[in-house]
Amino acid sequence: MKNKRYIVVDLETTGNQANKADKIIQFSACIVEDGEIIDQFSTFLNPEKRIPPFIKELTGISEKDVKDAPLFEDVSSIIHSLIDGGIFVAHNVSFDWTFLQKEMHEAGEVPLKMKLLDTVELARIMYPTVDSFKLQDLADEFGLGHDSPHRADSDARVTAELMLLFLEKLETLPLATIRKLTTLSQHLTGYLAELLFEIEMRKERELAMLDTKWTEYRGLVIRKKNLQEVQYSRADTRRYPETDEEKTTLFKATDETLIPRAGQFIMMDTVMASWEKQENTLIEAGTGIGKTLGYSLPAIYFAKEHQIPIVISTYTNLLQSQIFHKDIPLLAELTDFDIQAVVLKGREHYINLFKFEQLLSEVDKTYDVVLTKMQILVWLTETTTGDIDEVNLSGGGQLFWNRMKHTGWFLSPQKDPWLVHDFYLFNQKQAKAADLIIVNHALLLQDHFGGGKWLPDYEYAVIDEAHHFTDAARAQQSFVFSYRRMKFFINRLGTLGKEAMLQRLELMFPEQHQLFDIEIAIIKLEEALENLFLLLAQKLLRASKNTTELILVENVIDEKLDAALFFAGEKVLLLMREVSSTLEFVLEYGKREAENFSEGESVFLEEVYSFVLDWKRAESQLSRMLYEKEEAMMLYIEADRNKALSSVRLRADIVQVNHTLQKDFFDTKKSVVLTSATLTVDDSFAYIRAELGLDAATKTKQIKSPFDYGENARILIPSDMLPVKGTPVEEYTSKLAAYLSAIAKETSGRMLVLFTAHDMLQKTYRKMNQDASIAEYRILAQGVSSGSPARLTKQFLAFDKAILLGTMSFWEGVDIPGDDLSCLVIVRLPFAPLEDPYTKAQIALRKKMGLNAFQTYSLPEAVLRFKQGFGRLIRRETDRGIVFVFDNRMDTTNFGKAFLNSIPEVPIVKGRELELLEEVKKFFE
Q: Hey, how many other C-beta atoms are within 10 angstroms of the C-beta on 729?
A: 14
Helices assigned H by DSSP within 395-553: 395-401, 423-432, 441-449, 469-477, 483-493, 501-508, 514-543
CB 732 within 8 A of CB 763: no
Which amino acids are annotated as binding site, given as ranges? Answer: 285-292
The CA–CA distances, whole Å, from 674 to 314, 450, 461, 692, 829 equal: 10, 22, 8, 10, 26
The radius of gyration of the chain from alpha carbons, rounded to an integer in Å, stands at: 30
CB 680 within 8 A of CB 702: yes
Closest CA to 753 of 768, 772, 773, 771: 768
Q: Which residues pair with 223 in a beta bridge?
A: 214
The CA–CA distances, whole Å, from 623 to 178, 451, 480, 575, 652 equal: 49, 17, 12, 12, 11
Measured distance CA(751)–CA(920) in Å, rounded: 13
* CB-based burial, 153-188: b 16+ in 10 Å, e otherwise: bbbbbbbbbbbbbbbeebeebbbbbbbbbbbbbebb
Measured distance CA(76)–CA(78) in Å, rounded: 5
- Cβ-proximal residues to 615 (8 Å cutoff; 6+ apart), any chain: 489, 576, 579, 580, 583
Half-sphere exposure of 777 (CA within 13 A, CB side): 27
CB 165 within 8 A of CB 142: yes
- Cβ-proximal residues to 466 (8 Å cutoff; 6+ apart), any chain: 282, 674, 675, 676, 679, 688, 692
* CB-based burial, 424-439: b 16+ in 10 Å, e otherwise: bebbbbbbbebbbbbb
Element (H, E) at 14: none
Measured distance CA(844)–CA(826) in Å, rounded: 28
CB-count exposure of residue 454 (10 Å: 0-12, 13-18, 19+): middle
- Cβ-proximal residues to 814 (8 Å cutoff; 6+ apart), any chain: 752, 789, 793, 806, 872
Closest CA to 21 of 104, 112, 99, 107: 99
Which amino acids are annotated as binding site for ATP, given as ranges? Answer: 285-292
Measured distance CA(805)–CA(767) in Å, rounded: 13
- Cβ-proximal residues to 794 (8 Å cutoff; 6+ apart), any chain: 132, 137
Helices assigned H by DSSP within 748-835: 758-769, 789-798
Element (H, E) at 356: helix 353-361
